Amino acid sequence: MSLLDSARNFLIESLEDYQKGKLAFSILHAVTATELLLKERLSRIHPNLIYRKIDSPHLTREHTVGLQELPQRLINFGVSLKAMEINVIRNVSEWRHEIVHHMPTYSHQHATNNLGLLYDFLLRFLENELQLEFRKFIPKSLFKTVGGLLKEWGNVKKEAKQKALEEGNVVQFQECPICGVLGTICSRVDKKAFCHLCESDLEVGECPICHKQAIDINSDFEGNIYHWSCLDDIGQHYVEMWREAQLDK
């Protein structure tokens, strides 16, 4: 069975589990589907890239790259992933570990929120990176379940924005770095902020690159907060300089 076929099966199982109210199994299967779809995209660049140690003389005996490492390996080979998409993947993959090895600590509502985000990501990834229509990837019998989940996600976003308005001090022009939604963050005292959608505690500071307000989940070891776009610009500039240096050799 191919990676894509396996991913489809796990995605269908996830939707069916959600339909039956089995949230933990829905998360487990959705995360597995995500991992397989990311590996499918990587294998389309080169089949050997799915292995952790690609220089091994016994490559097919090696373990494949884990979900935590997959986003960066895809980015290294030119696949575009947003910071908030990477965070969603990593957050939900940590839940998989909790479900398998520990007692889950997330709330039902918080899990539904992030599961909705993950499905949003899968829809975009299927269509943009794998050229597959989401509605043709799953059985028609599950359309209502998907629609219900995404509709629920839309309602959750509205509720989060309303909570932010009620608290006040809404950050108007910056998306949450975790869930990527605008209008859900409230600034608080001591350079802190809170997103009413993904319930993340955030830090606020001046980006050292553009000198405008920046918000992220953590500061660096010097206490700086950066815009991801600013860091991307620096990274792109470095790559261009490296390429020019190589051409001049």
pLDDT tens digits along 17-42? 999 988 888 988 999 999 999 999 99
DSSP 103: -
Tell me, yes or no, whether 139 and 153 share the same domain.
Answer: yes
Q: Are residues 133 and 52 in the same domain?
A: yes
Write down the pLDDT at residue 96: 74
Residues 173 and 64 in one domain: no
Q: Point out the domain boundary residue: 115, 144, 167.
A: 167
**Strand pairing of 213-216 and 185-188?**
unpaired
**Which of the listed residues 143, 167, 191 is the one where a domain comes to its end?**
167
Residues 70 and 111 in one domain: yes
Q: In the chain, what is the greatest distance between 2 CA atoms, to the nearest angstrom?
A: 62
Q: Are 67 and 157 found together in one domain?
A: yes
pLDDT for the residue 27: 87
pLDDT at residue 238, as a whole number:
59
Q: For residue 126, count CB atoms less than 10 angstroms from its CB and return exposed for 0-12, middle for 13-18, buried for 19 or more.
A: buried
Question: Is the domain of 133 the same as that of 239?
Answer: no
Residue 154, domain extent: 3-167
Give pLDDT, residue 89: 81
Structure confidence at residue 14 (pLDDT) = 94
In total, how many domains does the chain have? Answer: 2
pLDDT tens digit sequence for 186-229: 999 988 999 998 888 898 888 888 888 888 877 777 778 887 77
Which residue positions in the chain have pLDDT lower than 70? 59, 101-106, 233-249
- Co-location of 148 and 189 in the same domain: no
Same domain, 59 and 174: no
Co-location of 58 and 98 in the same domain: yes
pLDDT of 244: 60
What does the pLDDT read at residue 134? 87
Number of neighbours of residue 111 by Cβ within 10 angstroms: 18
Q: What is the pTM of this model?
A: 0.71
pLDDT at res. 166:
97
